[in-house]
Structure 1
Amino acid sequence: MPVKSESSPVIAIVAMVNSIHVARWLGMVRDCDLRFVVIPVMRAPPIGELAPFRLVSKADDLCDLKRGELGVFDHGSVSWAEAEAVDFGAGFKREEHPAFQSSTHVVTAHHVTSAIRALDPDLVHSMEVQVAGYLTLEAKRRMGAAFPRWLLSNWGSDIQLFVKLPAHRPIIHRLFGQIDAYWAECGRDVALARRLGYEGVAFDPIPASGGMRVDGALAVLPPSQRRSILVKGYHGWSGRGLHILSAIYLAAPQLRSNPIRVLFTGPQASGSIAEIRQAAGLDIEAAPHLEQHADAMRRLAEARVVVGTGISDGIGTTLLEAMSVGTFPIVANTSCASEWVRNGRDAFIVDPHDTAAMAEALVRAVQDDELVDAAALRNRDEVSQRWDPGINRESVLAAYASLIEAARASRAS
């Protein structure tokens, strides 16, 4: 039945409409009495996992949403030329994220402001900081006291890395002075927000993806009986895949019986893979991209070890997925992995620039059967308690309810 009641609260999700994290979060909570509408921050088609959804452009459109159906704000209802002119006139230019340097793919602050005005939600939830958060911050500046309650989620490096950058630090300071509630992935980031002067509500950390149900049949084979190594080969503004390849070369004599498959390779990594294969005689090659998540999970569940490092991260989804299927993780100490696993017991947590330590960790992980089998049991138990969408759903809905109740009480007073 369509949701007709005017009292049914509306939550506007300012987010990347093409993000699997956003889709999983909403998939966890959407089947409830709340109405959710996504305000896209990227000019991109909605990811398939968001379905069912319909385009909306005003508050009345939300009355026709069926239970579990999402609204997606139609930015086509806002003139692009006018939006650019308004932003230019306001002197607003969003500070760039190195992963999204082309502003042609990001909507304007006027788009986000117009959407919030048109939809009049009870709560605004910005998911991610440098695009969604910064645009929402400018929207709040323009709307002033008329702006709804604002909940901010950060992903990965959003705070921990960017607050160190001179161009971003003052924006992040302003942002924490404007939000009403904060949802981090890591306790590390809650502590950082407090040091930045944030005094508002901070909910218990939950991964950006909310939760995921994993097919238990995937983890039937104990990791001690697996041989392959998966490597996240991305090397860019954050990832340090080339350092992992250097560690593999150092450990080559002990890895000759282990097939090594490298994900997310660019030209540089592809060249390094070929050189290592020829010089060290390893079974190493680039792995194809798998469109279906189930296929990617199956490949992960067949691996003994997965390695991914970078200069900054939150609680990486690859780590959680590896824990759920018993694959032994090697991750960077720049993440908050230590809030989920114990170094040397459940995973190896290494300096992303220390290739010798990484090589030592790889050798231990491929040789120590008792280590990887014991870790698999503990890690699966950990994610079953903390990354379960059914459990986390209740926490999220309770948090939404508390913020909406506070907002409505404030409006009534």
Structure 2
Amino acid sequence: MKKILVICMYDSIHSARWLAQFKDTDYEFLLFPSSPHRRIRPELKALLGNSGAASYNLFPLSRLFGLPFWIADKFFGNLIRGSLVRIAAKTFRPDLVHALELQNAGYISLQAFGDRSRPFKLMVTNWGSDIFWFQQFPQHLAKLKQLLKIADYYSAECSRDVALAKRLGFVGKAMPVIPNAGGFGQQELEQALRPSDARSKIAIKGYQGWVGRAVTALEAIESISGSLSDYELVIYSANLKTIRYAREVEKRTGLRFTIYPKGAMSHRQVLELFAESKIYIGLSESDGISTSLLEAMAMGAIPVQTATACCDEWFTSTGVAIHQIEPGIVAAGILRALELSEDPMNATVNRETIRRKANASEVSKIARTFYEL
């Protein structure tokens, strides 16, 4: 039985979905926390123990020390968790250590192993902004170069990020480019797409802060409010700043917003929102593949997405890529997307792109080759 030590975020759906792809294999997984989790994601918790043929276990006491050790390591440069990862590797004796994400799991791996000789291989996975965004900061750039130097394998969900890793000095094996969170099942891909005249909503990702730019989307919407009065504007995963700004726009324009805070909608509800929406708007200064972008394409909502989400690898003329996050440019993109939504072929082409590049069965087959090294 092959042993895999996975350093990952216990509270991340991406971690859970990645690991779930291996539950009917004969791998033995030991999981080590990379972030200050307050809880273990239910989908990950469901895997623990013998889940099918594979076994998934947490590093001892790791349910308890995620937050305090994360705080301590802010002062000690990942020294504590790096030492614990070395202990985990020494006792578990893995064939492979896999760091899921770079700024937490990757940097812990760098502290743990550095240039030390080791009997196992190291794989690192870029989750999106890990290189694209953080390379602009000198301290992160230095760490990224060091980490990529010691990594044997590297995976990313954008070809853009594979090129960036090589530019920063990675000389190991690049794994196939696939969505990190797995793919879409037959239930989603076989669901009939609603025609445009049966779609009455506009979906807006509500992140504002760090790299999310939902307020700019709302500024754009306000500037063309007269063209959007017939739509229900649905903001999901909204934080407080987005909610407050949306309420102000409502008062000034008379537009109707339905708002769901972050975590208020299930995955199934988000998919249903996209199935009922003409367009989806997602703005971010940095991203890998935006999962929301893929979900919108799968369910027939025409995307208005910042180009930072590797849009050119997923659509050309069947969506709108935003290259400058400015209200006027976003407003023009929204109006263009509404035009595109009137041609059913655009939604059909996007669905077929997802079926070809992001169906769960094919993505899982490729993912399983990652550990057959």
TM-score by structure 2 length?
Answer: 0.90
Alignment of 1:254 onto 2:227: yes
Alignment of 1:18 onto 2:11: yes
Asked if structure 2 preserves the Cα contact closer than 8 Å seen for 1:176 and 1:198, the reply is yes
Asked if structure 2 preserves the Cα contact closer than 8 Å seen for 1:51 and 1:69, the reply is no
Alignment of 1:316 onto 2:290: yes
Q: 1:272 to 1:219 in 2, by over 3 A?
A: farther
Gapped regions of structure 1 (runs ≥ 5): 1-7, 56-63, 96-106, 403-413
Alignment of 1:129 onto 2:102: yes
Q: Which amino acid aligns with 2:345?
A: A
Q: 1:141 to 1:356 in 2, by over 3 A?
A: same
Report the equivalent of 2:269: 295
Q: 1:325 to 1:79 in 2, by over 3 A?
A: closer
Residue by residue over 1:261-319, the C-alpha shift from the partner in whole angstroms, topping out at 9 and shown as x without a partner, is: 11233332222212211211212242355343212221221111110111111101001
Residue by residue over 1:78-102, the C-alpha shift from the partner in whole angstroms, topping out at 9 and shown as x without a partner, is: 999x989x979xx94149xxxxxxx
Q: 1:219 to 1:318 in 2, by over 3 A?
A: farther
Query: Alignment length, in residue pairs?
Result: 368
Shift of 1:172: 0.4
Alignment of 1:195 onto 2:189: no
Shift of 1:126: 0.7
What are the equivalent positions in structure 2 for 1:332-411 lying under 5 Å apart?
332-342=306-316, 345-371=317-343, 373-402=344-373
Asked if structure 1 preserves the Cα contact closer than 8 Å seen for 2:81 and 2:108, the reply is yes
SS of the residue 2:238 aligns to: coil
Asked if structure 2 preserves the Cα contact closer than 8 Å seen for 1:21 and 1:208, the reply is yes
361-370 vs 166-175, which moves further: 361-370
Asked if structure 1 preserves the Cα contact closer than 8 Å seen for 2:203 and 2:233, the reply is yes
Shift of 1:329: 0.8
Q: Which amino acid aligns with 1:48?
A: P
SS of the residue 1:185 aligns to: coil
Gapped regions of structure 2 (runs ≥ 5): none
Shift of 1:112: 2.1
Q: Identity over aligned residues, as a percent?
A: 30
Alignment of 1:28 onto 2:17: no
Asked if structure 2 preserves the Cα contact closer than 8 Å seen for 1:37 and 1:71, the reply is yes
Q: 1:259 to 1:171 in 2, by over 3 A?
A: same
SS of the residue 1:146 aligns to: coil
Q: 1:161 to 1:215 in 2, by over 3 A?
A: same
SS of the residue 1:314 aligns to: coil
Q: 1:374 to 1:76 in 2, by over 3 A?
A: closer
Larger Rg: 1
What are the equivalent positions in structure 2 for 1:81-230 lying under 5 Å apart?
92-94=76-78, 108-141=81-114, 144-146=116-118, 148-213=120-185, 214-216=187-189, 218-230=191-203
Cα distance in 2 between the residues matched to 1:292 and 1:354? 30
Residue by residue over 1:239-259, the C-alpha shift from the partner in whole angstroms, topping out at 9 and shown as x without a partner, is: 011110110011111111111
Q: 1:53 to 1:207 in 2, by over 3 A?
A: closer
SS of the residue 1:256 aligns to: coil
Alignment of 1:46 onto 2:40: yes
Shift of 1:151: 0.8
Cα distance in 2 between the residues matched to 1:305 and 1:270? 20
SS of the residue 1:304 aligns to: strand
Shift of 1:219: 4.3
Asked if structure 2 preserves the Cα contact closer than 8 Å seen for 1:243 and 1:352, the reply is no
Q: 1:140 to 1:375 in 2, by over 3 A?
A: same
Q: 1:160 to 1:134 in 2, by over 3 A?
A: same
* Cα RMSD for the two superposed structures: 2.6
Which contiguous aligned blocks of 4+ residues in structure 1 show a shift greater than 3 angstroms?
Answer: 51-55, 75-80, 216-220, 288-291, 367-371
Shift of 1:370: 3.5
Cα distance in 2 between the residues matched to 1:17 and 1:225? 39
Cα distance in 2 between the residues matched to 1:147 and 1:291? 44
Cα distance in 1 between the residues matched to 2:35 and 2:333? 39
Cα distance in 1 between the residues matched to 2:85 and 2:299? 39
Residue by residue over 1:331-377, the C-alpha shift from the partner in whole angstroms, topping out at 9 and shown as x without a partner, is: 002221111111xx221001352211211121222244444x22211
Q: 1:369 to 1:157 in 2, by over 3 A?
A: closer
SS of the residue 2:212 aligns to: coil
What are the equivalent positions in structure 2 for 1:266-285 lying under 5 Å apart?
266-285=239-258
Asked if structure 1 preserves the Cα contact closer than 8 Å seen for 2:302 and 2:340, the reply is no
Q: 1:77 to 1:116 in 2, by over 3 A?
A: farther
Q: Which amino acid aligns with 1:305?
A: I
